[in-house]
């Protein structure tokens, strides 16, 4: 399938510090492409270049086969952008905000009226249409922030962490609305710090780290890439009378590494996370290694592979670090 957006060799430096190292990717029509990466990975720089707000040092962006250089106006006409911060006039009503921002895309008269009406329904703000934005809750502002970006029916919507700081109910509403957009044929590029959102909406994922793409694929294929590992969480009872916890836990770590198939051990408080090679039946060995050091086991769980694990494996950091 032909790409809607094609990015090639995107490079950007700030004061000699290279933030993007020639990244390239394609966006397929109708997909929700999630861009993941720890802080400083280059996500925002990528988004700012895609929105034509920031110029790249090198590289090319093609939209529907045409370079956006020289076709910037046509490209922007097809874009809907949801910035990370609330970008609304607080003193104006929801309807006035929608009307103004939609008018910047050339909508006038009955087309503008219809677009505003549709966007108000989308954001579930029909009842509050005449109220000033400053009287809205955080979730309502976030919904309106998205509605302002889609009122003109863009082909491609770019969302930069649109759910920061809102309640779970509003987050669910936003995620559902993104899926509705996708079902309606809109393509979405989405960045987030919440892995559960990626699980819920992504068609495909790009993992950025240190300005380079280190993994790309569907969530299933990314999970498959670390399916050769198995995680086991063991909760132990560290006796209060133990004089030197560190010594005991160090001994446990050493014992666990002597068990066949164990690849890594991390200990946080009373929880021990053991990663071992899949297919090797070593649970009894893990149990013996822990109990043998005098630590009673309170609970033991086998953890299914998650995107969080994939991310940790690829970048060495948790997404929200």
Partner 1 sequence: MRDFLPIFEMDVRNLFRNPVLIGYNTVFAGGLILIMGWLMGDSYARVSDAYQYYAITLLVYGTFSGAMTATNCFMERDIKKPNLRIIYSPAGGSSVWLSKMLASFVFDYALHIVLLILCGTLLGVTFGSNPLAFIVLMAPAELLGTALGTFGCCVLHSEELASTVLSLVVSLLCVLGGTFFSPDALGGPVATISLLSPVRWFDDAFFAMACDNDLSSFWPVFLGCSVAIAVLVIGCKHFFRTEDYL
In the complex, the residues that contact partner 1 under the rule CB under 8 A are 48, 51-55, 73, 76-77, 79, 81, 83, 85-91, 97, 100-101, 103-106, 148
Residue number with CB closer to partner 1 (76 or 317): 76
Q: What is the DSSP letter of 135?
A: G
Shortest Cβ distance from residue 80 to partner 1 (Å)? Answer: 9
34 strand-pairing partners: 190, 205
Q: Which two tokens stand for residue 221?
A: 């294929």
Residue number with CB closer to partner 1 (76 or 313): 76
Residue number with CB closer to partner 1 (87 or 238): 87
Residue number with CB closer to partner 1 (86 or 297): 86
Residue number with CB closer to partner 1 (44 or 276): 44
Using alpha carbons, select from 78, 29, 31 the residue that is nearest to residue 50.
78
Using alpha carbons, select from 217, 172, 183, 212 the residue that is nearest to residue 34.
217
Shortest Cβ distance from residue 54 to partner 1 (Å)? Answer: 5
Residue number with CB closer to partner 1 (89 or 257): 89
Shortest Cβ distance from residue 105 to partner 1 (Å)? Answer: 6
Shortest Cβ distance from residue 264 to partner 1 (Å)? Answer: 39
Q: Are strands 58-63 and 5-14 parallel, antiparallel or unpaired?
A: antiparallel
Residue number with CB closer to partner 1 (155 or 251): 155
Residue number with CB closer to partner 1 (139 or 154): 154
Shortest Cβ distance from residue 220 to partner 1 (Å)? Answer: 33
Shortest Cβ distance from residue 173 to partner 1 (Å)? Answer: 21
8 Å CB contact between 149 and 82 = yes
Q: What is the DSSP letter of 137?
A: -
Shortest Cβ distance from residue 200 to partner 1 (Å)? Answer: 26
Shortest Cβ distance from residue 100 to partner 1 (Å)? Answer: 6
Shortest Cβ distance from residue 91 to partner 1 (Å)? Answer: 6
Residue number with CB closer to partner 1 (83 or 285): 83
Map the chain to HEC letters: CCCCEEEEEEEEEECCEEEEEEEEEEECCCCEEEEECCCCCCHHHHHHHHCCCCCCCEEEEEECCEECCCCHHHHHHCEEEECCCCCCCCCCEHHHHHHHHHHCCCCCHHHHHHHHHHHHHHCCCHHHCCCEHHHCCHHHHHHHHHHHHHCCCCCEEEEECCCCCCCHHHHHHHHHHHHHHHHCCCEEEEECCCHHHHHHHCCEEEEEECCEEEEEECHHHHHHHCCCEEEEEEEECCCCCCCCHHHHHHHHHHHHHCCCCEEEEEEECCEEEEEEECCCCCHHHHHHHHHCCCCCEEEEEEECCCHHHHHHHHHCCCCCC
């Amino acid at each position: 399938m032909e790409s809607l957006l094609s990015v090639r060799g995107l490079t950007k430096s700030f004061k000699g510090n290279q933030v993007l190292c020639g990244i390239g990717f394609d966006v397929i029509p109708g997909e929700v492409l999630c861009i993941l990466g720890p802080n400083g990975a280059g996500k925002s720089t990528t988004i700012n270049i895609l929105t034509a707000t920031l110029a790249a040092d090198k590289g090319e962006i093609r939209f529907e086969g045409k370079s956006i250089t020289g076709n910037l106006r046509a490209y922007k006409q097809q874009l809907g952008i949801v910035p990370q911060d609330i970008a609304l006039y607080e003193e104006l009503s929801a309807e006035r905000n929608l009307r103004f921002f939609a008018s910047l895309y050339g909508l006038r008269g009955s087309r503008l009226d219809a677009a505003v009406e549709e966007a108000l329904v989308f954001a579930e703000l029909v009842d509050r249409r005449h109220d000033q934005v400053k009287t809205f809750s955080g979730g309502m502002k976030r919904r309106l922030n998205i509605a302002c970006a889609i009122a003109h029916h863009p082909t491609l919507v770019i969302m930069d962490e649109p759910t920061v700081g809102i309640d779970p109910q509003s987050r669910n509403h936003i995620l559902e609305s993104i899926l509705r957009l996708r079902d309606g044929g809109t393509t979405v590029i989405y960045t987030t710090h919440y892995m559960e959102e990626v699980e819920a909406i992504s068609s495909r994922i790009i993992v950025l780290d240190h300005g380079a793409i280190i993994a790309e694929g569907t969530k299933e294929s990314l999970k498959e890439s670390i399916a050769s590992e198995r995680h086991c969480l063991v909760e132990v009872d560290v006796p209060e009378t133990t004089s030197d916890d560190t010594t005991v836990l160090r001994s446990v770590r050493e014992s666990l590494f002597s068990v066949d198939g164990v690849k890594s051990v991390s200990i946080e408080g009373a929880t021990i996370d053991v990663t071992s090679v899949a297919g090797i039946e070593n649970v009894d060995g893990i149990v013996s290694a822990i109990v043998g050091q005098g630590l009673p086991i309170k609970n033991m769980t086998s953890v299914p592979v998650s995107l969080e694990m994939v991310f940790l494996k690829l970048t060495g950091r948790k997404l929200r670090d």
